[in-house]
């Protein structure tokens, strides 16, 4: 009985898709403009939830849990339609209640894809908390923290209930790619969707972080969104690129587990969903919440985000790639030397990736960019040949390990502390847990394996202190610039 009931729940939580939205770019810029227009109307003056609550009214009101926690939004005031043109209104409605998860997202300037519904729900909670310092939660036997309930807990609990009923179903992910990062229109998922694809995870974490900030320091939403998603004037990282670390600092696994369990108990007593979950007992709720919280924190907090090839504009691989056989025993650390400066924005890092691939393919005659992964100073790893394929990074040893290159010349000074931690504290342990890298892996600098100064004196001194560093190396007298 449970599989049918949970499938019914997923259907109930979905709403119909509005008409086609024309050709507005599905970019954070467009969402900010919509929010700005809503904030400019008089219709938000009597709404504690401000523009997000008005947007929810335009979009259909939200899921049963969201309505229980935040209330049913008022009818759309007559003055609102002129504030948004028909394309903006249709797009907002689809973003808040998409037929498929890939239709409810926008592209952020940092290169991440963000689901709009959990983001705006978190902002609404923040505004209501600011207006009423101690807001009441839902009047039910299952109290919840509204900030988590409307952003992440409902989707996460639903995802793992469905997986428990049908073990073959995905619980988290996947990521995906846009057709055009300059004028994004179509987002395509990389595999079968779960209720919590990467974009929903991003939107939910952002909703928690920005909602909490609004509760403490109310601000115009358009200003808040611009300050969060956009790089600074000096080209430094966008604050959104820190979302994983900041969410982890705010949210212990035990807190997330508690909120997922509370959301499921609330769904079990709400009139709209009571019959669908009446056979799910307390023990099952606790087990689902425990696993969901553990997996989410591992995937989206402990492990780093990896920008896929299609997002940085990779050319196709030339020829037929050779498969790696994980878990591999080695990791080889490089610096790119050229480009010689760190990249601190998505645009700069994507451009560096394309430049390196052109050089490796056209000047060196290689099949593809040589590195397995490349580290930007924008907070992200970039997929080169990735986990599956033999690279061209360390001659004679490409089949034995992954080549990880830092964008920049690190002869005189090391990469940013955040970029070092991205590999040392996140990428390497996650690779071990995922079975990509052996637990007893050895880490070496490129110079230990051939005639080169790579990865630069300063970076090499840094990696000498890392777990797994192996001082001995089989340095070769052969040139290092080779595909094999």
CA-to-CA dists, residue 97 to 14, 157, 405, angstroms: 7, 19, 40
**How large is the C-alpha radius of gyration of the chain?**
24
Q: Which residue, among 356, 358, 390, 394, has the nearest Cα to 375 in the 3D structure?
A: 356
| Residue 85, both tokens | 């043109």
Q: Work out whether the CA dihedral 262, 252, 254, 13 comes out positive or negative.
A: positive
DSSP string, 206-230: HHHHHHHHHHHS---HHHHHHHHHS
* Backbone phi and psi for residue 229, each to the nearest 5 degrees, phi listed first: -95, -10
Contact 299, 244 (CB under 8 A): no
Distance CA 449, CA 472 (A): 10
- Whether the full predicted model's pTM is greater than 0.85, yes or no, is yes
Which residue bears the tokens 């073990």?
167
CATH class of the domain defined by 310-463:
alpha beta
Task: Classify strands 381-383 and 306-307 as parallel, antiparallel or unpaired.
Answer: parallel
| Tens-level pLDDT at each residue, the chain (484 residues) | 444 444 444 444 443 334 444 589 999 999 999 999 988 887 677 678 888 888 887 776 678 888 889 888 776 665 555 678 889 989 998 999 888 889 999 999 999 999 999 999 999 999 999 988 654 444 444 578 999 999 999 999 999 988 887 766 779 999 999 999 999 999 999 999 899 999 999 999 999 999 999 999 999 999 999 999 998 877 789 999 999 999 999 999 999 999 999 999 999 999 888 887 888 899 999 999 999 999 999 999 999 999 999 999 999 999 999 999 999 999 999 999 999 999 999 999 999 999 999 999 999 999 999 999 999 999 999 999 999 999 999 999 999 999 999 999 999 999 999 999 999 999 999 999 999 999 999 999 999 999 999 999 999 999 999 999 999 755 443 445 556 5
* Residue boundaries of the structural domains of the chain: 2-302, 310-463
Q: Which residue, among 129, 182, 154, has the nearest Cα to 63 in the 3D structure?
A: 154
Residues written for the chain: 484
């Amino acid at each position: 009985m449970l599989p049918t009931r949970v499938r019914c729940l997923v259907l109930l939580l979905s709403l119909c898709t509005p008409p086609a939205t024309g050709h507005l770019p599905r970019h954070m810029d467009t969402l900010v403009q919509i929010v700005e227009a809503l904030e400019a109307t008089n219709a938000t003056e009597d709404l504690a939830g401000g523009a997000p609550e008005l947007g929810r009214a335009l979009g259909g009101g939200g899921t049963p849990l969201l309505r229980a926690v935040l209330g049913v939004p008022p009818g759309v005031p007559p003055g609102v339609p002129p504030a948004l043109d028909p394309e903006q209104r249709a797009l907002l409605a689809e973003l808040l209640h998409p037929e498929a998860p890939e239709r409810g997202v926008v592209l952020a300037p940092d290169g991440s894809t963000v689901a709009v519904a959990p983001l705006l729900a978190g902002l609404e909670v923040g505004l209501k908390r600011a207006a009423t310092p101690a807001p009441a939660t839902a009047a039910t036997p299952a109290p919840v923290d509204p900030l988590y309930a409307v952003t992440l807990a409902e989707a996460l609990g639903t995802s793992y209930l469905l997986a428990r009923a049908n073990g073959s179903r995905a619980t988290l992910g996947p990521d995906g790619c846009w057709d055009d990062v300059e004028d994004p229109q179509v987002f395509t998922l990389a595999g079968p969707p779960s209720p919590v694809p990467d974009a929903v995870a991003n939107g939910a974490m952002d909703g928690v972080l920005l909602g909490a900030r609004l509760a403490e320091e109310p601000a115009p939403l358009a200003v808040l969104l611009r300050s969060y998603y956009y790089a600074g004037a000096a080209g430094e990282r966008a604050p959104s690129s820190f979302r994983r670390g900041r969410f982890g600092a705010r949210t212990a696994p035990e807190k997330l587990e508690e909120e997922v369990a509370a959301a499921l108990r609330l769904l079990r007593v709400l009139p709209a969903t009571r019959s669908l979950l009446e056979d799910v007992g307390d023990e099952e709720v606790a087990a689902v919440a425990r696993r969901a919280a553990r997996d989410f924190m591992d995937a989206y907090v402990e492990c780093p985000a990896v920008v896929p090839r299609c997002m940085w504009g990779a050319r196709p691989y030339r020829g037929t790639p050779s498969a790696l056989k994980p878990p591999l025993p080695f990791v080889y650390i490089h610096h790119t030397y050229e480009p010689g400066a760190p990249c601190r924005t998505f645009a700069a890092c994507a451009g560096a990736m394309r430049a390196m691939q052109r050089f490796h393919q056209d000047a060196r005659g290689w099949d593809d960019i040589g590195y397995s992964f490349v580290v930007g100073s924008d907070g992200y790893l970039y997929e080169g040949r990735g986990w599956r394929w033999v690279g061209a990074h360390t001659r004679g040893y490409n089949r034995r390990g992954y080549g990880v290159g830092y964008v920049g010349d690190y002869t005189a000074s090391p990469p940013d502390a955040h970029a070092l931690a991205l590999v040392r504290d996140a990428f390497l342990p996650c690779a071990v847990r995922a079975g990509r890298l052996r637990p007893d892996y050895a880490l070496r600098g490129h110079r230990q394996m051939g005639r080169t100064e790579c990865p630069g004196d300063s970076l090499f001194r840094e990696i000498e202190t890392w777990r797994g560093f192996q001082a001995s190396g089989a340095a070769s007298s052969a040139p290092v610039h080779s595909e094999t």
